[in-house]
Amino acid sequence: MGMGKKSKRTKKVKPPVAIEVSDILNLARLAMSRVDVQPLFWYFKWKRQPILGYLSSIPYWYGNLPIFAYTKLNCSLKGYIAYMSVEREEVVLTDSNDDNRYMYGAVVETEDEPPFIMEALSGRSKLKENPVIIKAGNINSLIRMLMILSDTNSSPPLWYFEFKGKHLLGLIAPFFDYYDANALPVFFYVESDTKPPASFIRYISLKTGEEISYVPCISDMKYFYGRIVNVKSMPFFTSSGSEGRK
């Protein structure tokens, strides 16, 4: 009888890590980096505020870490998020998905707030295990690391945020099969006194040296492009493991 009752209990779903991005354009830039995958966007109201979010995961210590990236929506809801980044960057909320200039993500509206996501948004859920934090020597080193982590279909985002008066740009790099861990998460970052001037970093390595520039969109395909996602705060860096960092 005891076993039977236990099997009928609903297992508590662990909350993801919540990251608030600056706006819907940054959310689309994060979620729609792959041309071969159509992402799913969550829509619900939390404390009467419309929330649009994207749930994904990364290899992290002894398993995978779910991340719910979201923004507060201040416009009418549609069935799809349409996004383009070649020649110009644009995001549109639409009810059709037939314009091949855009990539599309479907929006699913829930009647109530998903409890496990609501727990993440409330701030009650904290990052239990911190990544290893390493300051890169320069932006060139950060972009080289990004290239290693990228393939022909996708690349990790470059997270931009402000911390203690500095402008930081960083990425999460998983080093797989580290002792008994599934992946050792390392947060590489650089800091500066100014905000990145555009949403993409363009990179190429030539015999004459490396060239890096900030651009508003993807254009010349001979370059490698890193996409910058602006966030309100970065729990991987601003967790208790880095509060004392100078």
- pLDDT for 240 beyond 60: no
- pLDDT for 93 beyond 50: yes
pLDDT of residue 246: 40
Give the mean model confidence (pLDDT) for residues 224-231. 97
Q: What is the DSSP letter of 142?
A: H
Structure tokens belonging to residue 77: 């809801």
Higher pLDDT, 11 or 5: 11
Whole-number average pLDDT of the chain: 91
pLDDT of residue 243: 43
Q: Which helix (H) or strand (E) holds 203?
A: strand 200-206
**Alpha carbon separation from 64 to 56, 60, 76, 146, 166 (Å, rounded):** 10, 5, 34, 20, 30
pLDDT of residue 239: 58
What does the pLDDT look like over 26-84, one tens digit per residue? 999 999 988 788 999 999 999 989 999 999 999 999 999 999 999 999 888 899 999 99
Type of residue found at 179? Y
**Bridge partners for 20 per DSSP:** 70
pLDDT of residue 245: 42
Task: Give the CA count within 13 Å in the CB-facing half-sphere of 121.
Answer: 23
Structure tokens belonging to residue 12: 């508590």
What does the pLDDT look like over 148-206, one tens digit per residue? 999 878 899 999 999 999 999 999 999 999 999 999 999 999 999 999 999 999 999 99
What does the pLDDT look like over 128-148, one tens digit per residue? 899 999 999 999 999 999 999
Q: What is the pTM of this model?
A: 0.90
Q: Which residue has the tokens 């009467």?
A: 48
pLDDT of residue 37: 84
pLDDT of residue 1: 44
pLDDT of residue 33: 86
Cβ–Cβ under 8 Å, residues 238 and 163: yes
pLDDT of residue 34: 82
pLDDT of residue 76: 87
Listed in sequence order, the residues at least 6 apart from 183 whose beta carbon sits closer than 8 Å to its beta carbon are 59, 60, 61, 174, 175, 176, 177
pLDDT of residue 244: 38
**Rounded Cα–Cα distance for residues 181 and 196 (Å):** 34
**Rounded Cα–Cα distance for residues 90 and 62 (Å):** 37
- pLDDT for 233 beyond 50: yes
What does the pLDDT look like over 115-132, one tens digit per residue? 999 999 997 667 889 999
**Rounded Cα–Cα distance for residues 21 and 123 (Å):** 16
User: Residue 34, SS3?
Assistant: coil
Type of residue found at 22? S
